[in-house]
């Protein structure tokens, strides 16, 4: 009788929770529910959990041959490192952000563009991913436009939608972990039937 290797763990569970938890904390600040001074608490979380853990998940997805998972987790892991290093470099004087003009807002819009094209790919993936990426590209659009137009209301709306996005990502992780543990669907994620 041949040995049967167990199926590899799904790294998306780890990547989604790293993204989701970090997004929830920053979004609470953007929505105005936590003080702006709390961004300093987000920085180490962005480096360790939002950044490093998603990069690890992306490398694991690469080993599994999952182009979508590789691109998404490595990109958003890098996003969190970009965010953290931007704040660290600004605070320590390595970069001058006293007059960035619309640059930060344009950067957020570019992240929204990446997210939009990844959202298109989710049309064939579980519905929870479709919803996460839909909410995320709109979140980036609101945050980017809020920064460019200096409209705190848009930033706050982006914070509220980001909060929903992060919670959906955490739900997705919860579903993947729970369903894998039980060996059956306990938490629905909106699986789509495979269409060739």
Place of tokens 């991913």: 129
pLDDT (tens digit, 9 = 90+) per residue, 17-37?
999 999 999 999 999 999 999
Distance of CA 10 to the CA centre of its chain: 17
At residue 10 the predicted structure's pLDDT band, cuts being 50, 70 and 90, is very high
pTM for this entry: 0.93
- How large is the average pLDDT for residues 140-158? 98
pLDDT (tens digit, 9 = 90+) per residue, 94-128?
999 889 999 999 999 999 999 999 999 999 999 99
Other residues' Cβ atoms within 10 Å of the Cβ of residue 75: 16
CA distance 181 to 135: 28
Cα dihedral 56/164/80/100 (nearest 10): 160
Place of tokens 């819009």: 109
Place of tokens 């704040």: 87
Judged by phi (left if over 0) then psi (alpha if -120 to 50, else beta), residue 93 lies in left
pLDDT (tens digit, 9 = 90+) per residue, 150-187?
999 999 999 999 999 999 999 999 999 999 999 999 99
């Amino acid at each position: 009788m041949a040995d049967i290797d167990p199926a590899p763990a799904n790294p998306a569970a780890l990547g989604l929770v790293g993204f989701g938890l970090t997004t929830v904390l920053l979004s609470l600040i953007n929505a105005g529910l936590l003080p702006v001074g709390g961004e300093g608490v987000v920085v180490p979380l962005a480096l360790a959990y939002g950044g490093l853990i998603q990069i690890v998940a992306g490398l694991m997805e690469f080993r599994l041959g999952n182009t979508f998972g590789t691109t998404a987790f490595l990109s958003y892991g890098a996003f969190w490192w970009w965010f953290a290093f931007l704040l660290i470099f600004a605070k320590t004087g390595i970069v001058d952000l006293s007059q960035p003009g619309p640059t930060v807002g344009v950067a957020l819009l570019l992240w929204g563009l990446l997210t939009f094209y990844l959202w298109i790919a989710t049309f064939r993936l579980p519905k929870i991913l479709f919803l996460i990426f839909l909410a995320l590209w709109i979140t980036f659009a609101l945050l980017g436009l809020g920064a460019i137009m200096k409209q705190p209301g848009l930033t706050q709306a982006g914070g509220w939608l980001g909060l929903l996005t992060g919670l959906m990502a955490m739900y997705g992780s919860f579903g993947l972990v729970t369903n894998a543990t039980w060996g059956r669907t306990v938490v629905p994620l909106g699986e789509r039937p495979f269409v060739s």
